[in-house]
Structure 1
Amino acid sequence: MRRLALRTGIRWKISIAIAAVGALIAVALSLVVHNAARVSMLDNAREVQLSQTLFAERMYDTTKEAKFGTKINDPGLPAQLREKTKQGRRATLVEGGGVPDIWAAVPLGNGTVLSSHSRLAERSTTIIKDLDRALLVGSAAVVVGGSALGVLIGGQISRRLRKAAAAAGRVAQGNTDVRVRTAIGGVVRDETDELARAVDALTDALGERIEAERRVTADIAHELRTPVTGLVTAAELLPPGRPSELVRDRAQAMRTLVEDVLEVARLDSASERAELQEIALGEFVERRVRAVEPDAEVTVLRESWVSTDPRRLERILGNLLANARKHGGSPVEVSVEERVVRVRDHGPGFPEALLREGPSRFRTGASDRAGQGHGLGLTIAAGQARVLGARLTFRNAGADGTGGAVAVLWLPEHAPTTTGSFPVVALPGRP
């Protein structure tokens, strides 16, 4: 069962955490201060009430009259105070909530009790209310300030992590010269720098391994070129016959494989540069498709002039058509709309692994496609597209993905320069 997940940024997580902690601390301190202030005021009120009652006791000894609001054997005297006075003890009591009553009682002898009570002074109640209001405002200020601090701290960390993720994404796209540590910058050193150093170390290790594998592949293919060429030449000298045809066919296939492997190695080295020319894309595609795949249906929806390398573009088209012919089904349709070229067949479609991960060398797909070839055609097409600064995507047509394979080549508006970069285009209104 799929579990719901709430996605949010680290900035807001830190801000919420700081705000929550600040709120808890503010509430706890407010309760402590409120209770302490209330207890202090009540204790002071009880002392004042008892002092007045004691003074009234001295006056009673002289005048035998209860003065200053005191009463003799008050029937409303709380039972707790009555018990204390029976023990011959002076006592005070706070009764009621909100604005409480303050009681004081002293024994006079022979079971007589002198007592007095009054409500807590309104001034004290006002002071407590003002204190509560100040505590509330202070707590809100702490929460808001904590949230703002959390946004600042979290924003700094979030920016550094986003820069690191963007740099790692460029590395994943093949730009191994990018350094994550340099990308995140900053003066303060924290765990993101450790992460950046680890990613940079991983990038260096992977780059060295990939380069070593590329050199081995290129060296093996280069060493095989001479004997394979000799094998092809020798096969041409064999007498006519079916066995000779099989030998020539396999020798030619081996030669094509060696050339493809060398091309892949050159593309992996990122040293290839496009030789640009201005061409009418629709006319060029139609002419090249007619030459290699006469049965294909070519449609030019909208013509466009593009700056690209015709040789590499022809290589991409040839590989896409060859893939459609070998692994797809008729008819093969090619359409051109401005800078977009689509090649579609009506076969079983691309394998799920290719759609998910992209072309992979020496992997031709599962049993749903014919499985012929060496899996280098689409790999070379994707590599040549990168040299052109283009984007090559793969998908399956039809609502259920069984309407045939569709390869789409998106040529860039601005072609790469001879150094492999892209020209800087001035924005409108700027030199």
Structure 2
Amino acid sequence: MRRRPRLPAWTASLTWKAAAFLAVICCALAALLGILVHVSVTDQTVREARERALSRLDEAAEAFRAGGRLGPGASLDPPELPASLRALAVSGERGTMVGSHDQRPTMWAAGPAAGGKALAVRIDYSQGARTIDGLDQAILGSSALAIGATLLVGAFAVTRVTRRLHTTARVARRISAGALDARVDDPRTGDPGRHQDEVAAVAGALDSMASSLQGRILTEQRFTADVAHELRTPLTGLHAAAELLPPGRPTELVRDRVAALRTLTEDLLEISRLDARSERVELDDTWLGPVAERVLRASGTGAATTVVVVRDVCVVTDRRRLERVLGNLVANAHGHGRPPVELTVDGPVITVRDHGDGYPDYLVEHGPQRFRTEGGARGHGLGLTIALGQAEILGARLRFANAPDGGALATLTLPYEDPAL
């Protein structure tokens, strides 16, 4: 099957489309007006020449009937007379036709004469032909000039609009990348008394949306931080009180729930610090293979987790934060997937894979979202959110996907410069 040829990428721009539209419209208008003017002037020129020729034909007919001398350009059955006009005259009718004589444009007029002959008169039509040719050239020149001027003015006007659209799109991309304080600040939206066009309306709507979104996110961040701080003090007292309880199954349950609440509170505090962007990295040379082994030992999962080092490299990163990221990924794999869990180091790329049902579609498409659940299923808590935030601080890229043969697959790509290069 043959593929249809594709146009260059620049033809998709609004500027090019507007310029092409203006060019087509200008060419159509110029052609229409040119045809109308050409037809009108040609009809007038031919009509004047025909009237002159018929007038001369009347004079020649009177002279012929009086037996006088025919005027200049008048004769009986001239050999240059067009055959169709001769036949018309012989049949008893009068007529005119533009032809040629001595290779010059000529207006012929012919009528019947005695003896089945044709009386013909010729008038030089060179001036009329030159007038029409000059008019056509003037129409072409003025049309080209008008089209060029219209394209320049149209391109200037369209470029101003597209430049504002590009600015709006660029700000939208910055907002989607996390820069919630980015604004278009179109001058037309700042003056209520000024007429707003469609681009200004879009820019104003984008700024309003960004302000509303920023306010909601800041409110959520403050709420998370406040809740974590308020819970920390009573949980500390609750933990101390739980340690004083007598041994037994109820005490173990209480201590377990208190420990879970303390972990949740610490996670909330960590997220609030990540949201505030107050974290500072401590960079050092770190071999990834030993880091993976330490994460495995700290996870306490034993044979349910395996470490595969395909290629070990030394990267410059914050080892504590890297262990935090990998620990959360391994814990999530065991908490929401099924063993075995594989932790693979291949150069600066570390993957964590389980053999469960995989990540939900929303998580693969939009990334982890705090406490979100889909269709009544169990959510993924805060572990993946913290892992993603810590990876961003490290300058690493963390991506979530599902393996083709089943299971969730998290890929962490660390910044790395090959010393051999």
TM-score range, shorter chain: 0.7 to 0.9
Which structure 2 residue ranges, 5 or more long, are not aligned? 1-6, 78-84, 187-195
Please, what TM-score do these two structures have when normalized by structure 1? Answer: 0.76
| Aligned counterpart in structure 2 of residue 241 of structure 1, from 226, 241, 248 | 248
- Pairs within 5 Å for 1:89-104: 104=109
Deviation digits for residues 46-103 of structure 1, max 9, x if unmatched? 133133224324534653565543569x984479995xx9xxxxxx65689xx99956
For residue 322 of structure 2, what is the amino acid of its counterpart?
L
2:184 paired residue number: 180
| Aligned counterpart in structure 2 of residue 388 of structure 1, from 372, 390, 394 | 394
CA distance in 2, matches of 1:41, 1:81: 27
Structure possessing the higher relative contact order (Cα contacts under 8 Å, 6 or more residues apart): 1
CA distance in 2, matches of 1:403, 1:19: 56
**How many residue pairs were aligned?**
387
> Quick check: 1:347 aligned with 2:348?
no
CA distance in 1, matches of 2:66, 2:247: 151
Deviation at 1:149, TM superposition (A): 5.8
Residues 389, 412 of structure 1: 8 Å contact kept: yes
Residues 370, 385 of structure 2: 8 Å contact kept: yes
Change (3 A) 1:166 1:125: same
Please, what TM-score do these two structures have when normalized by structure 2? Answer: 0.77
Residues 284, 316 of structure 2: 8 Å contact kept: yes
Residues 279, 306 of structure 1: 8 Å contact kept: yes
Deviation at 1:119, TM superposition (A): 8.7
| Aligned counterpart in structure 2 of residue 305 of structure 1, from 314, 318, 321 | 314
1:55 paired residue number: 59
Q: Which moved more, 1:209-218 or 1:133-142?
A: 133-142
Q: Which moved more, 1:151-160 or 1:6-15?
A: 151-160
CA distance in 1, matches of 2:23, 2:124: 37
Change (3 A) 1:150 1:304: farther
CA distance in 1, matches of 2:363, 2:349: 21
2:278 paired residue number: 271
CA distance in 1, matches of 2:358, 2:270: 26
1:403 paired residue number: 406
Cα RMSD, aligned residues only: 3.9
Residues 104, 116 of structure 1: 8 Å contact kept: yes
CA distance in 2, matches of 1:52, 1:297: 114
Q: Secondary structure at the match of 2:415?
A: coil
Which structure 1 residue ranges, 5 or more long, are not aligned? 1-5, 86-91, 183-188, 415-431
Deviation at 1:45, TM superposition (A): 1.4
Deviation digits for residues 147-190 of structure 1, max 9, x if unmatched? 566555545544443343223212222123433349xxxxxx97
CA distance in 1, matches of 2:74, 2:156: 62
Question: Any runs of at least 4 consecutive aligned residues in structure 1 with deviations exceeding 6 A, and if so which?
Answer: 78-81, 105-108
CA distance in 1, matches of 2:317, 2:91: 101
Change (3 A) 1:294 1:52: same
Q: Secondary structure at the match of 1:287?
A: helix
Residues 279, 305 of structure 1: 8 Å contact kept: yes
Residues 345, 405 of structure 1: 8 Å contact kept: yes
Aligned sequence identity (%)? 44
Deviation at 1:194, TM superposition (A): 5.3
> Quick check: 1:379 aligned with 2:385?
yes
1:321 paired residue number: 330
Change (3 A) 1:146 1:327: same
Residues 15, 146 of structure 1: 8 Å contact kept: no
Deviation at 1:42, TM superposition (A): 0.4
Residues 316, 385 of structure 1: 8 Å contact kept: yes
Q: Which moved more, 1:374-383 or 1:144-153?
A: 144-153
2:173 paired residue number: 169
CA distance in 2, matches of 1:120, 1:346: 98
1:419 paired residue number: none
Deviation at 1:285, TM superposition (A): 2.3
> Quick check: 1:37 aligned with 2:29?
no
